[in-house]
Chains A and B, each alone.
Chain A
């Protein structure tokens, strides 16, 4: 749908669009092109010589067990964050949808973690579980669990997953609540008259009707776990112990800024770009489908 009536000017539109275009060319496209270029080059540590190496950087990545391990870590991390975050918020939203009195109070008290910075969330959870001063780690010890995420990789992973889920619940909750409220009451009433009890109504009517929301949130949560959890990981575990919580984004940062491996880091950036493109395409195809539906 385009406008039939437009303004005429040969220079004004260029001036209007210029600020945005300058920013995206200088800070988005130029760096992205640099990353693509560097991913097929190899420069020495002092930046004095640059050599064309073709696909070598990518080949090195596939042969690098730590990179493959990072892929695996990211897969475990994002799957668990998405599944746990979605299930917990769905449960809360379903119960909140039932409530008439005080619904707004619950909503307000559940949505504020969205406002907490990922890095601050990481610090809060680190403090609760810190091996020597943490309250929760102290309680866990009382129950015979020896909590020390500085030494045990699976515990470190548990910690960052909990922090990431905690921060994302509010977002999922709001979308599920909106989805639940848009389900026609008549459907539920008809099922109730036919004798379907709440449990059965949920699985045969509500849950299938929510599936577009659930799928949308699945994509969003995976994107979140991939890209927006850097702060949580850097604050809570710094990718450790060893490399046990070093997800792909953390590894790009670490290899580029700490280990100064330009070519390798650029190749990792390119792999990440491909992942973003795939996720974005999935998300938009889905949004289009929802519009038709």
Chain B
């Protein structure tokens, strides 16, 4: 702070508190709605203080025993699908990007830069611009309604490959020389030197890619038709059906809150990695 201006500081706090309140209001309302019965919510205006039906709403959501017309897949199982999907996507992206960056930086082979640019160009081909043909490929390969179908098409990562390549280029040459002198082969060098050096980048990428995997929507919407394979984000959408009044809002909101908890915890608890990951992946 350059100079003392108590009024301006007070104003700053007021603006930030207002900002936090506005940002948090939808979350608060979700929580309140998840603690009331449907009939209490439907009666406009719904109460703004938490009610007493929290336990039964969450149990109903978790076991899939709520009323309403929409899908009744149990949230416990959907969260499991989301968790497995997000973990496979995050770890898979990191693994294959580490390997390809290692190949591109530490070896000389024909078409090396061609492969690098081919990987890089996939940045310009998000799922949204090629949905129908990609869907066709996945269905021809018989990967609909499977973890493979949910994850493998999303596992390539231009940003991660690019990031690891940039990082490997800054690793001192002496390390390779020393490793070779000690008789270490390429994979030994990769495992014992490069990967340990990359831990911070790996952690940062993991946070970003876990959230990316957990929050996928369009792709799972296409490849999952079976309730057993719904990730929780899809499950919420499928619970809302018909008009406002027929939706079991209390259970939907309990589900929404449960679906938000894992990625939000990852962001808040791993804030340092998260910020680093955001900044790194956009470079």
Contact = CB atoms under 8 A, between A and B. Distances in A.
Which range holds the interface residue count of chain B? 35 or more
A112 B123 contact: no
A227 interface: yes
B9 A6 contact: no
Interface stretch (A56-64, A78-86, A119-127): A119-127
A120 B259 contact: yes
B201 interface: no
Contact of A112 (B173, B176, B264, B283): B264
B236 A119 contact: yes
A12 B186 contact: yes
B99 A20 contact: yes
Interface in B242-278: 243-245, 249, 252-253, 256, 259-260, 263-264, 266-268, 271, 274-275, 278
A110 B264 CA distance: 11
A109 B132 contact: no
Contacts of B134: 27, 31
Given A6-B108, A118-B215, A112 B136 contact: no
Contacts of B11: 95
A166 B106 contact: no
B176 A133 contact: no
A205 B56 CA distance: 56
Interface of B: 1-3, 5, 8-9, 11-13, 15-16, 19-20, 23-27, 29-30, 33, 41-42, 44-46, 48, 95-97, 99-100, 102-109, 112, 115, 118-119, 122-126, 128-138, 152-153, 155-156, 161, 169, 173, 176-177, 180, 185-187, 189, 211, 214-218, 221-222, 233-234, 236-237, 240, 243-245, 249, 252-253, 256, 259-260, 263-264, 266-268, 271, 274-275, 278-279, 282-283
14 contacts: A2-B169, A5-B173, A5-B180, A6-B106, A23-B96, A31-B133, A95-B15, A114-B267, A120-B259, A123-B256, A124-B27, A134-B244, A257-B222, A273-B124
